[in-house]
Structure 1
Amino acid sequence: MKPIKSKILLGLALAATAVLAACSGGDDSIDDRVGLSKPSVRVIHAITAGPNVDVLQNGTKTSLQNIPYKTVSGYFDVATGSNLFAFNLTGTATQIGATTVDAHTGHKYTVVALPGTATADVIQIDDPYGKGILSTSARIRGLNASINAQNVDMYLTTPALDLNTVSPTIAGVSYKNAVPPSGQDSIYVDGGTYRLRITTAGTKSVIFDSGALTVARNDDWLITTIPADGFGAVIPNRIKVLVAQSNTSNTTAQELVTQ
């Protein structure tokens, strides 16, 4: 029986390798999918029209220096246990926010600098990454960083679908929180053409409409609402959306405005 078992395991490994080779990019290795990868962190600058910042880890500057709004770092490995991440105004010791990540094997973490009430704020998302070895589904999570739209529902549907006929894809996203929440895996959808519509929570009143957009197989999206007017935004529900995708190198989030 051992030779047969070995052939089965070899076949699964080859199949997994083929699937991952067909991925659209990003940080999505076999180790990630079986939960054996080192803990890793990515950093997102989502402060609408905010200042450039330096990112520090445990008091030491990282390579993420003078990064502008919409920067999404690649995932980078960190040691297990406590890791303090701070955002300083570029070239200064002036800290605008910080958070401590308690890192565990097999988990990915996203640290987001976002617009607060009068100053910046920082939150983190723990993603246990439960994607199956052979899955080609896209992973989706919503984050609300809009102080002027404090509770929203997100609908990711086929473009022509009547919202009155469906429940939200991501429901009840409150300000400075993610859905699925930190510590739970993302939701999974098939690749294809979609339309993102965001409503005030519990209603069908659309406050954001992306129009048609493409979600590719194996994409990994963090959909973040932010105030269209930045700090001090006072017009209710005037928002835009940043889409951050998993990656192995620094990139720029896609900014969506309502169509």
Structure 2
Amino acid sequence: MKLSKSGLLVGLALAASAVLSACGGGGDDGIDDRLGISKPSVRVIHAITGGPNLDVLQNGTKTSFLNEPYKFVSNYFDVDTGSQLIAFNVTNTSTQLGSAAVDAHTGHKYTVVALPGATAAEVLTIDDPYDKSLLSDKARVRTLNASFNAQNIDVYVTTPAADLNAVSPNMAAVGYKTANPATGQDSLYLDGGTYRLRITTAGTKTVIFDSGALTLGNNADWLITTIPVDGIGALVPNRIKVLVAQSSTGAGDAQELVSQ
């Protein structure tokens, strides 16, 4: 029997749905996401250590994300295609810490991060085209360097016992206010398992952060963000910690990791 193209797509979608259900795929990892036909969506992250609680505005109007503290990660929320202005205000004031314009496209996910700078808050946007294949259960990982006091870093995600001298970084020479893979590119794909996150100054094996053992689940989606331990105006070079935003958990706090 010859199977039509539409029948094949339906079959693949049903199979992928079964895989996602079995492996615990989050609500932001649906069939429409993997087919690239979902509405554009945005999430916001408050990554300013010691910063004030924030209200999140979309196109000048307050969202439901109000009075949010450091480490807050919103769920992804759908937006219309085209230009969307996301702003962070100090809670219950008109004092804006920063904003970012998002050029929203179908099938893409966007992360807007309020992060610490040398003298004030900064805002950065990551465009994620979400090119995950229908039947994959691999985890997706991306790094964001939000540490102005660690201007260029190499990121290693390895088995716990791996010798750094024998491996290359998974994400190399990540500069301040940049992501790797870069905005507009798909995430790095890894098998679920036990890993160790180590961060070095770029081009060296000098470790400035060591997570110890971490569990990365199947279908996990991690944004690993480095930030200064001391927040805005931090003076000590390479004194950093890490926030891990996991999209499958919905709105809540990022996991904060300190060096072991």
Using the size of structure 1 for normalisation, the TM-score is 0.97
Output the CA distance in 2 between the equivalents of 1:7 and 1:56. Answer: 43
Structure 1 residue 17 corresponds to structure 2 residue 13: no
Map 1:92-107 → 2, pairs under 5 A: 92-107=93-108
Whole-angstrom distance in 2 between the partners of 1:66 and 1:82: 25
| 98-107 or 240-249, larger mean C-alpha shift | 240-249
1:186-215 Cα deviation digits (max 9, x unpaired): 010000000000000010000000000000
Q: Deviations over 1:145-183 (max 9, x none)?
A: 001101000000000000011110111110011011100
DSSP 3-state at the match of 1:15: helix
Equivalent position of 2:161 in the other structure: 160
DSSP 3-state at the match of 2:149: coil
Residue of structure 1 equivalent to 2:124: 123
Alpha carbons 2:220, 2:248 under 8 Å: kept: no
**Which piece of structure 1 moves more, 224-233 or 190-199?**
224-233
Alignment of 1:113 onto 2:110: no
1:137 aligns with: 138
Shift in Å, 1:12: 1.9
CA separation in 2, counterparts of 1:3 and 1:231? 59
Alignment of 1:238-257 (within 5 A): 238-247=239-248, 249-257=250-258
Structure-2 change in CA distance of 1:68 and 1:25 (3 Å): farther
Task: Return closer, same or farther for 1:11/1:128 CA change in 2, 3 Å cut-off.
Answer: same
**Cα distance 1:5–1:182, how it changes in 2: closer, same or farther (>3 A)?**
closer
The aligned residue for residue 78 of structure 1 is 79
State the aligned residue count. 259
The CA deviation at 1:9 is 4.1
Matched residues in 2 for 1:82 and 1:198: separation? 35
Q: Which amino acid aligns with 1:62?
A: T
Distance 2:4 2:117 in 1: 58
Cα root mean square deviation, aligned: 1.3
Contact 1:24 1:219 in 2 (8 A): no
- CA distance in 1 between counterparts of 2:130 and 2:8 reads 25
Whether the aligned pair in 2 keeps the contact of 1:24 and 1:216 (CA below 8 Å) is: no
Select between 17-26 and 98-107 the one with higher mean Cα deviation.
Answer: 17-26
> Which position in structure 2 is the counterpart of 1:42?
43
Flag structure 1 segments of 5+ consecutive residues without an equivalent: none
Query: Greater CA deviation, 153-162 or 1-10?
Result: 1-10
- Provide Cα deviations, 1:49-79, integer angstroms capped at 9, x if missing partner: 2110000000000001000000000000000
* One-letter amino acid matched to 2:36: G
Q: Does 1:185 pair with 2:194?
A: no
Letter in 2 for 1:74: N
Q: For the structure 1 residues 78 and 9, does the alpha-carbon distance in structure 2 shift closer, same or farther, using more than 3 Å as the test? A: closer
Q: For 1:247 and 1:17, how far apart are their aligned partners in 2?
A: 16
Q: 1:9 to 1:36 in 2, by over 3 A?
A: closer
Per-residue deviation at 1:13?
Answer: 2.4
> Structure 2 unaligned runs (5+)?
none
Comparing 16-25 and 196-205, the one that deviates more: 16-25
Identity of aligned residues (%): 72
Which residue does 1:204 correspond to in 2? 205
CA contact (8 A) 1:75 1:247 kept: no
- Aligned 8 A contact 1:39 1:78 in 2: yes
Tell me the CA shift for residue 20 of structure 1.
1.2
Change (3 A) 1:118 1:37: same
Deviations along 1:211-235, whole A, 9 cap, x unmatched? 0000000000000000011111111
The answer as to whether partners of 1:75 and 1:248 remain within 8 angstroms in 2 is no
**1:106-141 deviation line (CA, Å, top 9, x unaligned):** 000000000011111100000000000000000000
What's the secondary structure of 1:22's corresponding residue?
Answer: helix
